Structure formats: C-alpha cells, structure tokens
Amino acid sequence: MPTIAPTSTTTAPTAATGASFGGNLGKNDFLKLLVGQLQHQDPLNPSSDTEFIGQMTQFSMLEQLGNLADTTRGLADRTGAMQTVGLLGRTVTCTGADGAPITGTVDAVDLTDGAPTITVAGIAGIDPTTVSQVR
C-alpha cells in the first residue's frame, strides 16, 4: 500500500461526493489510502505521530476545500439568478433557440429548474446568458 507523506500534494475533490476528476485523488480515495496504510503498517516500525497528524490535517483541509467549493458554487448560482431577476421589465436583445435575435421586454423570469430562463416578447425558455443588450 502506498504511503502518503505529510508533504505530498493533494488535489481538491468535487463536491461532497468525494469523487475525483482528472485522475487525481478525491477525499474518499485519500481516506481509503490512509486506512489501508494504517492496516498494513509494520507493527515493529509504525508511522510517527507527526506523520499521522500531518495526514489527518491534509484530509481535513481537503474536506474543507470541498465544502468551500460547494458554498462558492451555490453563491454563484444564486447571484446569477438574482441578476436575471433584475432584467424584469427591461428591453433586451438576446438569441432565441433557433439562433435568431429577439428584441423585446422581459416579461417573466423562471427559476424553477435550477438554471434561470426568461420570457422575452412572449417567447419563454430563453437562456439569459444569450442576452447581448439591455436597454
């Protein structure tokens, strides 16, 4: 079983799942390696307390980075939704589903499916990221 030294580089996991991306270790992988290391260490030559504390610190930091990423992602989503609400009653130019430009007043904002959509000139389901002009 490979050992993880306190000076090793650990990459950030994806959100709370502990899954990894890009072939890098996630928090669940890190925990499995740590448990495996403890199970297979030589009882006559155990890991030092300092090394174990360093590894636990790395695990704690890895989990907190994952939590921070979740919080930041949620904040970005809410900010985007609130910016979209700010378009209500404004005249915008955007791109419709068919790729044609649409100019009209934003009549409604739909926030029900996670990603906001707007209704412009009676046409619903327009992605607000396609807005190119606001008047």
pLDDT tens digits for range 126-135: 999 999 999 9
Would you list the domain boundaries of the chain?
A: 1-85, 88-134
Contact between 18 and 26 (Cβ < 8 Å): yes
Tokens 């005249």 — which residue?
91
The tokens for 110 are: 């739909």
- What is the distance, to the nearest Å, from the Cα of residue 16 to the centroid of all Cα atoms in its chain? 10
- What is the distance, to the nearest Å, from the Cα of residue 22 to the centroid of all Cα atoms in its chain? 15
Mean pLDDT calculated for residue range 27-44: 78
pLDDT at 125 over 70: yes
Residue 20 carries which side chain, given as an amino acid letter? S
> Which class does domain 88-134 fall in?
mainly beta
pTM of the complete model beyond 0.75: no
Tell me: the pLDDT tens digits for 81-110? Answer: 899 999 999 999 999 889 999 999 999 999
Which has the minimum average pLDDT: 2-11, 57-66, 77-86?
2-11
